[in-house]
Amino acid sequence: MSHDDFQVEPVKGLPEAPPEGEVILWQGKPEWWALSKESLNVLWVAGYFVFLAAWRFVSVMDLMPLREAIVASVPFLILGGIVCAILIAIAWAQAYYTVYTVTNRRVAMRIGAALTVTLNLPYTQIANANLDLRKSGTGTIAFDLMGKTRISYLVCWPHVRPWKISPTQPALRCIPDAEKIAAMISEAAQARVTMPQVARTQAAPSAVAAE
């Protein structure tokens, strides 16, 4: 029997229904191939094993026939293929189970394949946002948080700004149309931060004139 681990979510990607007045502007997730390249460096790993295979071939080609030299180098390619397949599977799972949500009040991130957590980042707690845009149009939007707000780099990886550990910056990693989403977040944050906050105060009791 099929089972959806997130069927209890009132709204996809959010632990509870948005309060009155909050509007979802965009929802998305990382592009899995871009995530495998940027967060798991799958191309560098593949290149490393190709280098090992080439090095093995060159080192034995003078000691044995050509065919045997090729056979001696093949295990490195097989091992490299297995490692790359594992890395790609991890990237796919991370992308599949992730939901990024942008509303007119906050950025929410439901992240994690094995351990699922949801980060709520109100615009009033975001000091700055940085866009790392790629030629393909995918990009990463990292958030610099205000005050003493701290999150765990290991728990949130790979949904963080790379190598920015102290303080950790949560990030929308490898999302399509990143420039468009960054502009949307900028407009929504500016509108939210400049919105006047009305506080309700208790009226003072009126004085009763003595008769």
In tens digits, what is the pLDDT along the chain, a chain of 211 residues?
444 454 567 788 888 888 899 999 999 999 999 999 999 999 999 999 999 999 998 888 788 888 888 888 999 999 999 999 999 999 999 999 999 999 999 999 999 877 889 999 999 999 999 999 999 889 999 999 987 778 889 889 999 999 888 889 999 999 999 999 999 999 999 988 776 555 555 554 544 444 4
d(CA 52, CA 97): 34
Task: Give the chain's count of helices (H) and strands (E).
Answer: 5, 8
Domain borders along the chain are: 102-193
Report the b/e string of 164-174 with b at 16+ CB within 10 A: eeeebbbbbbb
What was the pLDDT predicted at 27?
95
Q: Are 111 and 119 in contact (CB under 8 A)?
A: yes
Q: What pLDDT score was predicted for residue 207?
A: 46
Q: Domain 102-193: which CATH class?
A: mainly beta
